Amino acid sequence: MVTLNATVTSTFARRARGFSLVELAVVLLIVGLLLGGAMLPLSAQRELRLAADTQRQLEEAREALLGFVLTKGRLPCPDTDDDGFENQAAPCTNVEGHLPHVDLGIARADPYGWRLHYRVASDYAKQPPDEKPTLIDANTEGDIFVATRGDNPATAGTVESKFQRKLADKIPAVVWSVGANGHGGVNADSGASGSAADAASDEALNLAGTTKIVRPATPASDACSDTAEGSPPCAFDDLLIWLSPHIVYNRMVAAGRLP
């Protein structure tokens, strides 16, 4: 009887002992590896979600601009003092700035917290006189050029990656987000500026001038250039949409704004 009790007591003691320090360390290591492996996909999923949300917001901005042109007979001027309203002139004194979100009735910032950039062709933003519903007609042309990077089809046998390939021209307006890296952006809440874009980059090109670039995202690199074939590409995560002049004209005809 004593032997049986001793055996049972010994068995319970071994079971109550729990994990040794070595076993506990192995368990913690495994849990850490599992959690570490899960963090990267979660981070990537968040970035994909933010990019998708930004793209949807840009599509909403496009529809808002089309609604504005049907109502006013012109496109809005950019917001150049960040009060949410267009800085209107006849035509716009400044054709590039931020999207006038109050006039358009849309969110003031993208999902990253940056104000949306906006450029308009001045001929599409002219204030029509009282006797005319609009100054836009089938002959109105924009001055914005949208391009991407890739191989030049005219150079057979030579493969480039940074040739500027035209996607669209004579565009009335473009809207874009500076993306997660915030290069050239302005925070909608604090007014603080994001870091500057690389000097020889497509992100810098997008911030001024009539040429705008759309291309796949690339990470930051040292000694980068988006034009020199021998250099690594610069950081790029801009998201951009543009208005087709034909869609603008078609919508205005359908709404009775044009004969």
Which pLDDT belongs to residue 240? 98
Q: Euclidean distance between the first and final Cα of the chain, in Å?
A: 109
In a domain, 15, yes or no: no
Segment 144-160 shows an average pLDDT of: 90
In a domain, 9, yes or no: no
59/39: higher pLDDT: 59
Q: 202 with 234: CB under 8 angstroms?
A: yes
Residue 22: pLDDT band (50, 70, 90) is low
Q: How far apart are CA 243 and CA 66, in angstroms?
A: 8
CB atoms closer than 10 angstroms to residue 206: 23
In a domain, 81, yes or no: yes
The three-class DSSP label of residue 221 is: coil
Using omega within 30 degrees of 0 as the cis cutoff, is the peptide bond preceding 91 cis?
A: yes
Number of domains in the chain: 1
In a domain, 206, yes or no: yes
In a domain, 208, yes or no: yes
What is the residue whose two structure tokens read 């729990």? 18
In a domain, 176, yes or no: yes
Q: How much is the pTM?
A: 0.82
What is the residue whose two structure tokens read 């493969």? 159
State the residue range of the domain holding 166.
33-254
Pairing mode, if any, of strands 163-171 and 117-120?
Answer: unpaired
Q: 127 with 88: CB under 8 angstroms?
A: yes
Q: How far apart are CA 120 and CA 176, in angstroms?
A: 12
In a domain, 89, yes or no: yes
121-55-238-42 Cα dihedral, nearest 10 degrees: 170
In a domain, 179, yes or no: yes
Plot region of 89 (φ>0 → left; ψ -120 to 50 → alpha; else → beta): beta
On the question of pLDDT at 4 being above 60, the answer is no
Which pLDDT belongs to residue 46? 86
Q: How far apart are CA 200 and CA 143, in angstroms?
A: 23
